[in-house]
Amino acid sequence: MKTSVIQLTLDLLNGADMTVALEFNPFLRDYQQNPHGYYRTMRNEAPAYYIEPLNVWALFRYDDVVDTLRRPDLYSSRDWIRNTLGEYDPVPQVTNLIAMDPPDHTRIRKLANKAFLPGVIRKMEGDIRALIEELLDEVQDRGREFDFVHDYAAHVPVNVTAKILGADERTARNEFKRWTMDLLRAPSRSVLPQEDLDQIKRSMTELREYFTELIEFRRRNPGNDLVSVLVQAEEDSQALTADEILSLAFILQFGGSETPSHLISSSLLNLFDHPDAMAAVKADPAKTADAVIDETFRYSSPVHFVSRTATQDIEIHGQTIPKDSIVMAYISSANRDETVIEDPDTFDITRKGNSRHLALGLGTHYCLGALLGKMMCGTALTRALERMPSLQPIHETPEWMPSYWVRGLNTFPVRY
């Protein structure tokens, strides 16, 4: 009697007591299309749950997710790269920032922060705006119907990240797009054919060679880009090594190239679904952009979960998570937790404290690109609406990507 991801089995046949078996399988399409009903049930019925097909433990409540992110001593990040990329880590010589725990993480993060200080990001704002205008010119040259995801939103972060890392020329930006697309396929490596795996490997090698040369070039010719800032970053007379810079450049590209695209598309969808909010944004884009972006982070979190490894047996909600298990902290579920967020299933850009969401993580590994991401997404959304005020969706029902990890629209046909 398998009818849905969460299945209530009533064992009435043999007259036994009613037993309720709960099953949560994030590979199922129904969950990927509409996860929030499932999350609500999991928060209420099984807040700590073993997902058999993935061999991981999942936590769904806001407070538990916060604890996971705030306790690196209990929930380590050490297996992040191994779980995500396996043998396709382009810089295996050093541990990546995202896979470090304190105190190692603290040193690298302090240095990397220098490339993301508000003043540094502000200096890049003009370039980012110009790039977004260029992308919108291309969209508008194509005609009055286009796919908002593939023709626009997906290009924004790849191009912005390439640009701010110092890969200015158009050809380099196109290479970046190819490398990024290949890199993002690595988490599915167990089901990919050999030729795709070879392609990922080739892209990793090219990416590595490209950044190695770029870092050397920027040592001699510093510019206004992040690689230059990283090359010069020093803390207590400690600078980053070449491999550390390479590893950081890679995680910036990986972290910064996809999720903002989902956020841009989801915020447009949310505005189409909420005409009052759309009217407010059109009336005053500068004043409302931050609120739309923050509420979309909460309501349509682009990342479902972040993963950690249990450093010891953990007792939680009557379950024991064994030492060395992978734990998925469902930030997307936490952001709709009714015990913490009032009326969580309503999209409300006037919501007080809407930046309390966990879509960008929390604590030690809080998203390094948060400020940049918000600025990029806010500008991409509001400029698209300013330049195409009659923008509207072509279909009623959106189709979400077939992914258990990220949440973004698969396609989004629009006209103006």
Point out which residues bind ligand HEM (CB under 6 A). Answer: 77, 97-98, 109, 161, 251-252, 255-256, 259-260, 263, 302-303, 306, 359-361, 365, 367-369, 372-373, 377
**Residue placing its CB nearer to ligand HEM in the complex, 344 or 369:** 369
DSSP E strand boundaries for 81-135:
none
361 SS3 class? coil
Q: Which is nearer to ligand HEM, 6 or 124 (CB)?
A: 124
Q: Which two tokens stand for residue 225?
A: 């880009």
Instruction: Provide the token pair at 246.
Output: 């390479």
Residue 26 is inside which H or E element, if any?
none
Which residue of the chain is nearest ligand HEM when measured via CB?
A: 369
Q: Which residues contact 193 (CB under 8 A, 6 or more apart)?
A: none
Residue whose CB is less far from ligand HEM, 61 or 163? 163
Smallest gap, in angstroms, from Cβ of residue 8 to ligand HEM? 32
Q: State the nearest-atom distance from the C-beta of 263 to ligand HEM, in Å.
A: 5
What DSSP character marks residue 197? H
Which is nearer to ligand HEM, 25 or 253 (by Cβ)? 253
Question: Based on CB atoms, which residue is closest to ligand HEM, 277 or 303?
Answer: 303
Name the nearest CA neighbour of 215 among 167, 175, 172. Answer: 167
CB of 136 to ligand HEM, least distance (A): 19
**6 vs 331 by CB, closer to ligand HEM:** 331
Nearer to ligand HEM, 90 or 256 (CB): 256
> How many CB atoms lie under 10 A from the CB of residue 54?
15
Q: Any residues with CB less than 8 A from the CB of 298 and at least 6 apart, and which?
A: 335, 336, 341, 354, 356, 357, 359
Q: How far is the CB of 145 from ligand HEM (least distance, A)?
A: 27
Instruction: Tell the smallest beta-carbon distance from residue 327 to ligand HEM (Å).
Output: 11
Q: How far is the CB of 315 from ligand HEM (least distance, A)?
A: 23
142 burial level (CB within 10 Å; 0-12, 13-18, 19+): exposed
Q: How far is the CB of 225 from ligand HEM (least distance, A)?
A: 12
DSSP 150: I
Are 270 and 277 within 8 A, CB to CB? yes
Closer to ligand HEM by Cβ: residue 5 or 330: 330
Cβ proximity to ligand HEM: between 5 and 245 the closer is 245
Cβ neighbours of residue 335 under 8 Å, at least 6 residues apart? Answer: 62, 297, 298, 299, 301, 341, 344, 357, 358, 359
Smallest distance from the beta carbon of 141 to ligand HEM, in angstroms? 27
Separation in Å, CA 144 to CA 45, 212, 245, 416: 48, 42, 43, 6
Residue from 171, 172, 267, 154 nearest 214 by CA: 172
Q: How far is the CB of 316 from ligand HEM (least distance, A)?
A: 19
